[in-house]
Structure 1
């Protein structure tokens, strides 16, 4: 164990140090998954990247699949936080949400230049391989729809969002658009960001 890691344990309460160890293992796994795919990084390589032993690994995770599920869950939650507006009660919140998720999912830096996490096709690969990861993915998508629904209802209340479509249907469409955008960027399609953003906004604004 390195001197820096020993110092962390000496200066940090036990519960905090335990959480930091778990987080370090997850971040190391995400980086190696991004660089090498899911199959290549061994547990030893992940532990070495994080600066911990296999013993520390098994304190936090039952097996490699458990780590993959935790890593995918954290990465998905990070994407969700970047995409969804943190102030859903604001009148213009849905418009900001649309712009946020289009920017985050379509800009090359979000899908191609992210060095610390996997690309979107790796999420799908993990879902295919693991029912645990698939469950986390479904829960995260469900949470995204619920949180966007709050913004949609707020927009409908203030007259900024059309009311002839149910709010949960609009929310589901937005999430499906985001997922489709991630796939498009991941396979290298040339997306017209500004036109796509404007079209998405126009779809949900009341007819004038």
Structure 2
């Protein structure tokens, strides 16, 4: 009996979710197709019914992670602006969030950005560009002044670099390191946000 389109899509989504989690944690080179399919509790044969190879899966996994990440969900929610941006930064710099089932694409290891395979580099770059654009929109809504896209890019780079370094630091020092980075990012963003003008007492 052939599988229904709904079943095929559910299978594809399960592969993507598993691959995104593994790629986020270990990077492209350290993850094998066998590991992905075993983690997804599926056979390797099922993989080729949906993807042509590991690179095409990586590209699709980044797109999946970008659309289902905490950043994407928060962007759709209506909430206080200050809480919104703080939630995004705090969530990313929280060491425990790496176990979440919907990882942020920003967690993808920075080594993938300089990968020898062009398709991997392009997929990584496209993901980062998308996140910069998303953060630019958020900052615009906050009334940020100056070059907003540059600030968004600077924030993304700070987040990625901070976590990349934190992963190599001994655990007792990680929390303080991440907290200092968080404060620097908040200070930089807050200094670029327009302060509401108050009415003069003489008017």
TM-score by length of 1: 0.67
- 1:103: Cα distance to partner? 0.8
Q: 1:48-197 counterparts in 2 under 5 A? A: 48-79=38-69, 81=71, 85-87=75-77, 92-93=80-81, 95-111=82-98, 113-114=99-100, 123-127=109-113, 128-156=115-143, 161=144, 163=145, 165-188=146-169, 189=174, 190-192=177-179, 195-196=183-184
Q: 1:23 to 1:107 in 2, by over 3 A?
A: same
d(CA) in 2 for partners of 1:30, 1:49: 12
How many Å separate the matches in 2 of 1:143 and 1:75? 12
Contact in 2 for aligned 1:83/1:100 (Cα 8 Å):
no
State the shift of 1:76 in Å: 4.4
Matched, 1:202 2:153: no
Q: Do 1:30 and 1:118's aligned partners in 2 also have CA atoms closer than 8 Å?
A: no
Any stretches of 5+ residues in structure 2 without a counterpart?
A: 198-203
- Measured after TM superposition, the shift of residue 52 of structure 1 is 2.8
Range 125-134 or range 27-36, more displaced: 27-36
State the shift of 1:138 in Å. Answer: 1.7
Change in Cα spacing, 1:143 to 1:96, as seen in structure 2 (3 Å) is: farther
Give the unaligned 5+ runs of structure 1. 1-5
Q: What CA distance in whole angstroms lies between the structure 1 residues aligned with 2:43 and 2:132?
A: 39
Q: Does the CA-based 8 Å contact 1:145-1:172 persist in structure 2?
A: yes
In 2, distance between residues paired with 1:154 and 1:117? 25
Deviations 1:102-137 (A, max 9, x none): 2122111124x4577699775333331432232222
CA RMSD of aligned residues (A): 3.7
Query: How far off its partner does 1:151 sit?
Result: 2.7
CA 1:80–1:39: 2 relative to 1, 3 Å = same
Q: 1:39-54 alignment to 2 at 5 Å?
A: 39=29, 42-54=32-44
The normalised TM-score by structure 2 is 0.68
State the Cα distance separating 1:37 from its structure 2 match: 6.4
The question of whether the paired residues in 1 share the 8 Å contact of 2:27 and 2:109 is answered with no
